[in-house]
């Protein structure tokens, strides 16, 4: 059985709950996943101090880790920040988090490709032609026994609602992934956890915010614990309960893998 922890929307900066950092690190040690994935928004305002805090947190995860930037990881406030946003959009992210914006990671049971879907002007949620070609080139290399995973920040399942903005062409993106054997998509952005299986047979696992006080629609802080075997993929939403000061798996979703669907 292959296991994975998905964190998202850590938002170091204002309203970040550093106490939850410690609990999550303890959970990672206890659950002992094969890999940890962070699906964007490490910071709140892309400030240097926020990136430094995010870097220090990542350095304490003693597991293979894949990360991608979110829309909040682009400089946005002062005039100088706007210039940097257009000229060197991810220089701060690359200095503190990872030198690559699009990245891939192979660990036993998982073949994971991370894709930046942000734009300096328009609301994010799309991949370039170059990125789409890169996805296809990478997936050809995946070992047969691995679950093929794509990580992106904006949601591919958003019910046609503009707020918060989701992927611009979700069906086209999902069709592309299905043609290339992708079975699992991980994303964040909305701060609302979700797990479902699309018409293409792809499981979408959306993580809530793990450590930010920017909670939405009555959801508490949460992250996803995911496992897969030869027949199915299961997503456990682990939600924070203040009374017990713990994250607990309070929702579970199990889906047949694409080659095992009736």
SS3 annotation, 51-112: HHHHHHHHHCCCCCEEEECCHHHCCCCCHHHHHHHHHCCCHHHHHHCCCCCCEEEEECCEEE
Give me the pLDDT at residue 213, please: 94
Give me the pLDDT at residue 29, please: 98
Rounded Cα–Cα distance for residues 105 and 67 (Å) = 10
Give me the pLDDT at residue 211, please: 98
Give me the pLDDT at residue 179, please: 97
**Structure tokens, 11:** 């938002």
The pLDDT confidence band at residue 162, using thresholds 50, 70 and 90, is: low
Residue 43, pLDDT above cutoff 90: yes
Q: Which residues pair with 15 in a beta bridge?
A: none
Domain map (residue ranges) of the chain: 2-260
| CATH fold of 2-260 | Purple Acid Phosphatase; chain A, domain 2 (3.60.21)
Residue 184, pLDDT above cutoff 90: yes
Residue 161, pLDDT above cutoff 70: no
User: Alpha-carbon dihedral of residues 248, 192, 76, 58, nearest 10 degrees?
Assistant: 30
Give me the pLDDT at residue 2, please: 97
Mean pLDDT of 167-178: 92
- Model confidence, pTM: 0.94
Residue 87, pLDDT above cutoff 90: no
Residue 115, pLDDT above cutoff 80: yes
Q: Which residues pair with 103 in a beta bridge?
A: 114
pLDDT tens for residues 206-254?
999 999 999 988 999 999 999 999 999 999 999 999 999 999 999 999 9
Give me the pLDDT at residue 157, please: 82
pLDDT tens for residues 15-40?
999 999 999 999 999 999 999 999 99
Whether 39 contacts 70, CB under 8 Å: yes
Average predicted confidence (pLDDT) for the chain: 92
Residue 81, pLDDT above cutoff 80: no
């Amino acid at each position: 059985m292959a296991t994975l922890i998905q964190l998202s929307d850590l938002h170091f900066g204002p309203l970040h709950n550093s106490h939850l950092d410690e609990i999550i690190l303890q959970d990672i040690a206890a659950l002992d996943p094969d890999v940890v994935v962070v699906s964007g928004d490490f910071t709140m305002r892309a400030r240097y101090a926020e990136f430094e805090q995010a870097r220090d947190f990542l350095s304490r995860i003693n597991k293979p880790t894949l990360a991608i930037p979110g829309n909040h990881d682009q400089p946005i406030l002062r005039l100088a920040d706007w210039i940097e946003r257009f000229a060197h959009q991810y220089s701060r992210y690359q200095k503190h988090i990872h030198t690559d914006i699009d990245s891939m990671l192979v660990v036993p049971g998982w073949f994971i490709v991370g894709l930046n879907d942000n734009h300096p002007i328009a609301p994010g949620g799309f991949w370039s032609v170059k990125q789409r070609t890169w996805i296809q080139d990478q997936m050809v290399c995946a070992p047969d026994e691995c679950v093929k995973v794509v990580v992106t920040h904006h949601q591919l399942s958003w019910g046609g609602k503009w707020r918060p903005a989701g992927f611009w062409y979700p069906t086209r993106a999902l069709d592309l992934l299905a043609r290339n054997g992708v079975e699992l998509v991980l994303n964040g952005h909305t701060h609302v956890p979700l797990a479902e299986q699309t018409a293409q047979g792809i499981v979408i696992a959306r993580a809530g915010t793990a450590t930010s006080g920017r909670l939405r629609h009555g959801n508490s802080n949460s992250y996803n614990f995911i496992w897969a075997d030869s027949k199915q993929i299961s997503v456990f939403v682990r939600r924070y309960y203040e009374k017990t000061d713990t994250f607990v798996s309070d929702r579970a979703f199990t889906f047949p893998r694409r080659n095992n669907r009736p």
